[in-house]
Every structure is written in C-alpha cells, then in structure tokens.
Amino acid sequence: MTTAIAWEYYRSLLAVLQHGSLSGAARALAITQPTVGRHVAALEQALGVTLFTRSQLGLLPTEVALALRPHAEAMEHTAALMERAASGQGQGVVGVVRISASEAVGVEVLPAILARLRARHPGLVVELVLSNKVQDLLRREADIAVRMLRPRQEQLVARKVGDIELGLHAHADYLARHGTPLDLDGMAHHAVIGYDEASPFVRNAGKAFQGFTRENFAWRCNSDLAQMALIRAGAGIGVCQSGLAARDPALRRVLPQAFSLPMETWVTMHEDLRGSLRCRATFDALVEGLRDYVASQPLI
C-alpha cells in the first residue's frame, strides 16, 4: 500500500458490518448505496483482500472483515470524541456531553439534576445513555458515567458520592392481601420480584443475595425500571432503592433490619477531559446532585 486509505472507507465497512447490507449501511450513514459499495470495493483493492462474500442471506463478512471491525470501531469512537471536543470550544459551557447511567438512576434521579444544569448552561447538549452495562470510558463510549462499582482504571477521574441503599419493598395493597413476612424465610410464601440474569452488581454482592435466586422468583426481569413498576403495581416484594421507594407513600419497607444493601456510587470520567469546561461542569453537577440524593435517603 503506497497511499493512505480514506477514513470514510472504514466507516462504510463498519456500517455494513453493523447493518448487514449495503442498503442498511447507506441509510445509517445518509449516503447512497452505490457510494457504500464503492467505498468497500476501494478498501478491498487498497488492502488486497476480500471483505464480504455474497450469499442468499446477503453479505457475509470474511475473517479479515471481522478482524478489522474492532479497529474500525476504535476509529469511530475517536472521530466522535474529536467532534465532541470541537463542539466544546469557545466561551462558556457549551457542546455535547455524553453521560452513562443505570436505568433506575438515569430515569428516576438524574433528570432533575441535569435540568438544573442545563438551566445554568443552555448551550450544553446532553446525551443520556441508560444501560446497566458498564460503558467503557477508556474507549469513550461515554464522557461521564455514574457507576455502582468502584472504577479500577488508573486513567479515570472518580469521585464517590456515597452509598445508595437497596431494600425490600412492597405496595401497601399487596401486604394487606398477603401479609408482611416476619423474616427472610417467610419470603418463600410471597411473590418475589427478581432478575432473569444476575447482573455484575448482583454477582459482586455475593452473600447479600443468598436465598434470592432466580428459581425462587415469581417475577423475573432484568430491567430495574420494570421491577420497580411491578412493586408499585402491587405484584409482589422486590428490591429497589430506598430513596426512590420513599417518594411513593403507598410503598412499604419490608424486613429493613434483615436486608439492607449499600451500593457504592461513583461519578467517573476520563482524565483527558479535565480541561473540558462542559465535562467539568457536568461532573461537578452530578456529584453535587447525587450527594443530595444520597443524603435524602430515609433512615432504617
């Protein structure tokens, strides 16, 4: 290879890998299908390899294409980072900041915090990624993350805001119909709301969730929001944040002395973003707002 390969060729390759066809890639990139085809063909010619084979199922990636995918994804992340960095230049706190958080925190806690932040800085554009998957800050899948596990990477700036407490809760109507368990053994006679697949947090909690196994659950769901909705609907007894349950006067804490699980809560970002005004302002606002939320939790 004697000439540099244009980035858009790799971008088209990645889009075809992600969407499975030239037409799907074209729609995702907002360009024409022939243009995507030319990019892939030019990349194949420049590299001297075959990237896709045609079949009745559509385009099938070769081993070479699959091997190139993580590198193309890294280029895509870098390009997105450059765009966000450029958008934040100039006076004041402006530009895009991408925040990752769990479903429950992202829906129930962060909106009020971020609304106050944007009222102070209307030039800020917030992208909120809600997932219980830990976003990779080193690969810049997000600028800032709210995590329930202590970050281990040295390249991250991290500040602990406190412990968010989890407890067993149920709707007053459910307890009126079925009674309140006197101990954890009594939970066997109740409809327990739990997970379908154990999350990293559940696995790390270890002994705290002993007896709360998938086989014992009447309701199984991996979504924290769905579990919270089932508790509010009176479907059974489930685990949720005590601070969120306290907002609903119809919810009751169950066995508070027998089951109380603190979640370490951290706000983290890549150390390279220290100099970004928009990221620093967002980081500080999240720390302040989440500390207030932690302090507002009811005492057992």
Please state the domain extents for the chain.
7-86, 94-155+272-290, 163-263
Q: Judge if 94-155+272-290 and 163-263 fold alike in CATH terms.
A: yes
Does 3.50.50.60 match the CATH number of domain 163-263?
A: no
User: Residue 77: pLDDT above 80?
Assistant: no
Check whether domain 94-155+272-290 has CATH 3.40.50.1000, yes or no:
no
What is the token pair recorded at 33? Answer: 């299908």
The pLDDT confidence band at residue 32, using thresholds 50, 70 and 90, is very high
pTM tops 0.85: no
Position 239: which residue type? V
Secondary structure element (H or E) that encloses residue 100, with its range: strand 95-101
Name, in order, each residue with C-beta under 8 angstroms of 76's C-beta and a sequence gap of 6 or more: 11, 14
| Residue 87 pLDDT class (50, 70, 90 cuts) | low
- Which candidate, 39, 28, 50, 49, places its Cα nearest to that of 5? 39
d(Cα 124, Cα 220) in Å, to the nearest integer? 38
Kindly report the CATH number that applies to the domain delimited by 7-86.
Answer: 1.10.10.10
| 164: nearest Cα among 49, 60, 292 | 292
Give the C-alpha separation, 6 to 24, whole Å: 21
- pLDDT in the model for residue 138: 47
Q: Are strands 156-171 and 52-55 parallel, antiparallel or unpaired?
A: unpaired
Half-sphere exposure of 78 (CA within 13 A, CB side): 9
